[in-house]
Amino acid sequence: MSASLIPKDRIPWRHMVLFGWLPSPLKRLAYRLFLGYRIGKGVRFSFGGIVVGKSVELGDHVEIGFLAIVQGRNISIGRYSSVGTMSYVSCETIQIGEDAKIREQVYVGGPQLPESRFELGSRTIILQLAFINPTKPVVIGDDTGIGGHCLIFTHGVWLNALDGYPVNYEPVTLGKSVWLPWRVFVMPGTTIGDGTVIGANSLVSGDIPPSSLAVGSPAKVIRSAPDFPKRLSGEQRAALVAKLMNEFDQFVQYHGGAVTEEPPFRRYRVGRKTGRLLWVRRATPLPDSALRHGDCVLAESALPASVRHTLGARGVYWLDLEGKSRSREGSPLTEELALYLGRYGVRLAREA
């Protein structure tokens, strides 16, 4: 059979043979020298993990998993983001924010158009076996979670349009802090507003307003603001943080760690790694004279910009729950606690 006019390399075999087998340090070097990729510090490539593009920028500490493929014309992946084992991401333009996670065996691809675009916001996650078709742009806002086996389509066509059958090519937009649990089907042309939750096994089409709970096939809004989501009082928030920290302590101890009180600090030790945590409850002053380089501050109330600057200058890391922010870098304790907070949907934006 004759080849088509425009080559369509779904699997970049030549690139895999040339670069895929290289160990991570050599792959970084080869990408910089031979392909002109802009690669930040601490970027890691597993065996067979490749990035193929004309313009590529990978931020600090990006991870490309085992046999993962990312290919497109323009690719930008923000710091601390990752693409999991055997995932496939192919689109003309790929833009991924920071701290975004694409887990194992996720498929992003399909027929390509010049306007094809896959935009994934910061602190997002796409879980295993999700399928996303960005023939038309798919835009996913910050702090949005997409469960496993979810399907997002921007086109629907098979039968002959000249015979009167429908053909649909429309973009999909998911706002900030949207949650799609497992097995949600999103149809072309759908827009889901900020802070909305879709019930599992739902079929979504059209516009879903912000701060809503929608379920069913087709999905219909059953709750909305101000009744959804429920607003917590200061006392309820403090009790929830205390519950979370108690669980975190148990989690550390379960993994062989030790938690000891060194007032006003709490020390965590796992193997050779150790760290001090200062938990600042609501309306409690910050005893900054006792803080030293490498400590971590967990603040329930928002930290003023001047305090955050002072902490950063002294090499103290911080997690600000009310301000929904955190220090740019972190100690092992900071990173572990930030990950654990994510189990409760608490995601904190890294300082710029």
Q: What are phi and psi of 188, to 5 degrees?
A: -55, 145
What's the start-to-end Cα distance of the chain, in Å? 53
pLDDT of residue 53: 97
Residue written as token pair 């929608």: 214
Using DSSP bridges, classify how beta strands 55-58 and 265-270 pair: parallel, antiparallel or unpaired.
Answer: unpaired
27 in helix, strand or coil?
helix
In tens, the pLDDT along 4-20 reads 888 778 899 999 999 99
pLDDT of residue 282: 82
State which H helix or E strand residue 216 sits in.
strand 212-216
**Dihedral over Cα of 280, 142, 147, 108: its sign:** negative
118 in helix, strand or coil?
strand
The confidence band for 287, taking pLDDT boundaries of 50, 70 and 90, is confident
**Dihedral over Cα of 141, 142, 144, 148: its sign:** positive
Q: Distance (Å, rounded) from C-alpha 111 to C-alpha 98?
A: 27
In tens, the pLDDT along 95-105 reads 999 999 999 99
pLDDT of residue 7: 79
Residue type (1 letter), 291: L
Domains in the chain, please, with CATH?
13-224 (2.160.10.10), 234-350 (3.40.1350)
295 neighbors 278 (Cβ within 8 angstroms): yes
Most distant CA pair in the chain, distance: 77
299: which strand partners?
280, 320
Q: Distance (Å, rounded) from C-alpha 284 to C-alpha 276?
A: 18
In tens, the pLDDT along 313-339 reads 999 999 999 999 999 999 999 999 999
244 in helix, strand or coil?
helix
Can you give the pTM of this predicted structure? 0.94
350 in helix, strand or coil?
strand
Residue written as token pair 């067979």: 48
Integer angstrom CA distances of residue 350 from 80, 328, 338: 10, 5, 11
Q: What are phi and psi of 244, to 5 degrees?
A: -60, -45
Side-chain-facing half-sphere of 70: CA atoms under 13 Å: 30
The confidence band for 1, taking pLDDT boundaries of 50, 70 and 90, is low
Q: Distance (Å, rounded) from C-alpha 189 to C-alpha 179?
A: 18
